[in-house]
Amino acid sequence: MSLSLEIVTPEGIAWKGENLTMVTLPASGGEVGIMEGHIPLITMLDEGAVLISKASGEEESIAIDRGYARCMGDVVSVLTEAAIDVSKLTDEDIAKAKEMAIKAADAASRTPSIDPDELDRLHALVRFTVAQELAKSKKKG
Amino acid sequence: MKGMREIRNRIKAVKSTGQITHAMELVAASKMKKAQMYAEQGRAYATLLMDLTKSVGSEIYRVVARNLELGQGKKRLVIVFSTDKGLCGGLNTNLFKAISEIKDDVDFITVGIRAARFIARTKRRVLANFRISDHVKFSETRKIADFAMKTAKEGGYASIEVLYSIFINTLKQEPTLVKIAPVDDMDWFIESLKKSYKLDVADHPKEDRRFVFEPSLTEIAQNLPSFYINQAIHYMALDAKASEHSARMVAMKSASDNADSLIQDLTLEYNKARQSAITTEILELSAAANTENSQ
């Protein structure tokens, strides 16, 4: 039995893999590292990076938004609003996206007639770009 | 045999009806594609969320019941997803059959005017009627979820249930009644979702150790139930929309096909009528010629 992970977003299954040695999750109470045989766990997640260490020695870093995770029987399921593999992004991409997201959220929060759901969505975008930065820096370090 | 003019008029009428149904078919087809895509995308997420909520296991009944402040007893609150417009085949009829089968102490929240009308006609209680646009926005479904949770809390309802046409494929939609809160009876539904959608989510081996909650059960209990209800209702709405547009597309397609075959039959009849009119005329002419000759 080896550790496997799936990251599921409203757009579908964002990441799925088996034969992992460790998965690190950005839980709301601090980072949680999960290895084979972990006790069943349900946790809330903050925006941040999911670090995946594969048996082959490779590492991957996935940026995620807030959500929930469940570890049960060596299957880790991450449920989040958005997830992206940061290795496909450059620092400039992320910085640009963050600037745009912050600008949009700022403009929106100054509009009194804005739909609160729309504002939520914009804030989530900002959060998500911060998560991408985090994930990117983790990947380097 | 009918008069030629009459047949000609009927052909014209059927043709224009056929044109309308064909146009509606095309419109429904394009809406259907989008709706199906959204419904299919969200499935893995929705199913996993239900599964996760369910995993809180023995705790969940207590947790959800307490946090949504559901009542005791037998009063049920059922949210029905129907359509605003008709012309979608047996979709609503099947849904109404399912409504009639719910016999207990039930109050309804309806989405789409059709179900509201039906329930009012059968003299049962509709607490509110909502409408959802074709795009199914979160702001729309959140209103329904908020209203349902508030009503359940204030009215002492023991359960929140959803009746909607589950989208299986373009030709198949099934009315399904699911209890979304409390979540003690969800296993069959999650399993059937996984099976009928062929979801690629991981199966997990049986686990009998108790769950650890981070940061704490209370914190999760404060956030998870309402989040879950919101999402569940949203994804069910997406499914209901996909079902509606699929059913309408199929209904309109068969209407167009029927119009085509009717036009063929009528044209044949028209040609026969024309032929026999010509034959009669020739007969009359030759008869007249004969009498003239013999005189």
Say yes or no to pLDDT of A77 above 60.
yes
**Residue B156 has what pLDDT?**
87
- Indicate the residue type of B264: Q
**What is the CATH number for B154?**
3.40.1380.10
The whole-angstrom distance between A116's CA and the closest CA on chain B is 9
Rg (CA), chain A: 16
Mutate to test the interface with B, among A4, A5, A9, A13 (most CBs of B within 10 A): A13
Instruction: Please check whether residue B235 lies inside any domain of the structure.
Output: yes
**Residue B198 has what pLDDT?**
72
- Yes or no, beta carbons of A40 and B42 under 8 Å apart: no
Start-to-end CA span in chain A (Å): 30
**Residue B27 has what pLDDT?**
94
The whole-angstrom distance between A129's CA and the closest CA on chain B is 21
Model confidence pLDDT, tens digit, residues B33-59? 999 999 888 888 888 888 888 777 556
- Residue A128, beta-bridge partner list: none
Instruction: Please check whether residue B285 lies inside any domain of the structure.
Output: no
**Residue A1 has what pLDDT?**
57
Architecture of the structural domain at A3-85? Sandwich (2.60)
Across A52-73, average pLDDT? 90
Nearest CB to A75 within list B44, B204, B224: B204
Q: In angstroms, rounded to a whole number, what is the distance separating the alpha carbons of residues B1 and B128? A: 55
The whole-angstrom distance between A130's CA and the closest CA on chain B is 22
The whole-angstrom distance between A84's CA and the closest CA on chain B is 16
Whether residue A24 contacts residue A34, with contact meaning beta carbons closer than 8 Å, is answered with: yes
For A109, A115, A127, A128, B166, the CA distances from A121, given in Å and listed in that order, are 12, 10, 10, 10, 28
Q: In angstroms, rounded to a whole number, what is the distance separating the alpha carbons of residues B239 and B40? A: 8
Whether residue A101 contacts residue A133, with contact meaning beta carbons closer than 8 Å, is answered with: no
Query: Please, is B188 exposed, middle or buried when counting C-beta atoms within 10 Å of its C-beta (0-12, 13-18, 19+)?
Result: exposed
Q: Enter the DSSP assignment of B130.
A: E
**Residue B205 has what pLDDT?**
64
Across A43-50, average pLDDT? 92
Domain ranges, residue B44: 23-200+209-250
Nearest CB to B211 within list A40, A68, A118: A40
The whole-angstrom distance between B133's CA and the closest CA on chain A is 16
Residue ranges of chain B with pLDDT lower than 70? 1-2, 57-67, 184, 200, 202-206
H/E element, A62: strand A59-64
Mutate to test the interface with A, among B137, B140, B204, B219 (most CBs of A within 10 A): B204
- Yes or no, beta carbons of A41 and B56 under 8 Å apart: no
Chain B CB within 8 Å of residue A114 CB: no
The helix/strand count (H/E) of chain A reads as 2, 9
Question: CB contacts < 8 Å between A and B, how many?
Answer: 92
Q: For A71, which residue in chain B has the nearest alpha carbon? A: B211
| Structural domains counted in chain B | 1
| Residues of chain B found within 8 Å of residue A77, distances taken between Cβ atoms | 48, 51-52, 201-202
Domain boundaries, chain A: 3-85, 89-140
Q: In angstroms, rounded to a whole number, what is the distance separating the alpha carbons of residues B130 and B252? A: 26
Nearest to B150 by CA among B73, B226, B74: B226
- Indicate the residue type of B287: A
Mutate to test the interface with B, among A9, A23, A70 (most CBs of B within 10 A): A70
Across A91-104, average pLDDT? 87
Higher pLDDT, A6 or A88: A6
Across A76-86, average pLDDT? 90
